[in-house]
Amino acid sequence: MNTKAIRFFTTILILGSAATAHASDNAAVIFPAEGNKTCSDYSANSLILQMGTTSPLASGSLIGSENPRDADTTGEAATYTVTNGKVVGFNATTPIDYVLLKSGRGIALIIYPSGGVTEDANMKLTVGGVDQSISAISLCYGLGNVAPLPPPPPAPLTIPSCDALNASGGLDDIQVMCPSSGARSVVFNFELGGQKFYNTSETPLACVCNSEPLQECDPNVAYPEPGACPQPVADKSGAEVTTHIELNNDPYVCSTIGGKRTCYYY
């Protein structure tokens, strides 16, 4: 047999072995066990609830007691399928914490991640590398485990108060004198020439006078959706023009105001 053929058949054996070992789409862990098909054998009797069948068909429905720890109050149900008598799948109305598949004295204890799942497929009970015919199915639920919360979104950026920055050293070591009239204004500071100009992560580039910090908003989000910029207090259509400031053209800077571009060297 040539080398390519050997590699081909080796690949087939590896893939076939992996497919045989596959016993659930969604399980966190699967334990081999023996004994009864009763959910309370594997967790607290006062919490766990069960729905199942001791005579599974190719497909069927299950009815269970209301889960007091899920969002609805309409009772629980599930549908299941058994393919070729050996491969099980289900869909349920409530999160399932674990499943018991039984064949004779053998049991596969299929445990799901915290919070449970409402569906699974390709579930098998394998003994000695051989998939067994399923004689009973038990869906176990009601533990009330809570899935880990997603990490909180990053805090919105702000332009801080100049007064607060002055108290801690100033805007990049520059003390900002705010107008005594109380007028609000935004003050920007950019270092000319040198690397510090590009270091925008360690120190603020701007502060605001006579105001609370200015909160970040997204002009691409429609108001009043979360994160959107507020609507203007008055119609300014045509009364203002966009101002652009170009600062990365060492040794000069430019601004475009009212359509006129002006540059300055240093």
Q: Does a structural domain hold residue 58?
A: yes
Domain boundaries, position 207: 154-231
pLDDT of residue 56: 96
Closest CA to 90 of 57, 114, 61, 110: 61
Number of domains in the chain: 3
pLDDT of residue 16: 32
User: What's the chain's Rg over C-alpha atoms?
Assistant: 33
Contact yes or no for 161/212 (Cβ under 8 A)? yes
H or E element that contains 11: helix 3-21
Of the residues 90, 109, 141, the one at which a domain ends: 141
Q: Cα(256)–Cα(138) distance, rounded to whole angstroms?
A: 71
Closest CA to 78 of 48, 110, 51: 51
Q: Which residues of the chain have pLDDT under 50?
A: 1-22
Q: Cα(6)–Cα(9) distance, rounded to whole angstroms?
A: 5
58 & 115 share domain: yes
Q: Does a structural domain hold residue 1?
A: no
Q: Does a structural domain hold residue 11?
A: no
Q: Cα(134)–Cα(155) distance, rounded to whole angstroms?
A: 51
Q: Does a structural domain hold residue 3?
A: no
Q: If you write DSSP's letter for every residue of 88-153 in order, what string do you get?
A: EEEEEEEEEEEEEEEETTEEEEEEPPTT-EEEEEEE--EETTEEPPP-EEEEEE-----PPPPPPP
What separation, in Å, do the N-terminal and C-terminal C-alpha atoms of the chain show?
A: 77
Contact yes or no for 64/80 (Cβ under 8 A)? no
Q: Does a structural domain hold residue 174?
A: yes
pLDDT of residue 121: 97
124 & 28 share domain: yes
Q: Cα(20)–Cα(88) distance, rounded to whole angstroms?
A: 14
31 & 127 share domain: yes
110 & 50 share domain: yes
110 & 26 share domain: yes
197 & 244 share domain: no
pLDDT of residue 238: 62
pLDDT of residue 147: 66
Q: Cα(197)–Cα(200) distance, rounded to whole angstroms?
A: 7
Q: Does a structural domain hold residue 84?
A: yes
74 & 116 share domain: yes
Q: If you write DSSP's letter for every residue of 103-120 in order, what string do you get?
A: ETTEEEEEEPPTT-EEEE
38 & 133 share domain: yes
pLDDT of residue 2: 39
Give the distance between the most distant pair of CA atoms in the chain: 92
Q: Does a structural domain hold residue 253?
A: yes
Q: Does a structural domain hold residue 122?
A: yes
Contact yes or no for 123/24 (Cβ under 8 A)? yes
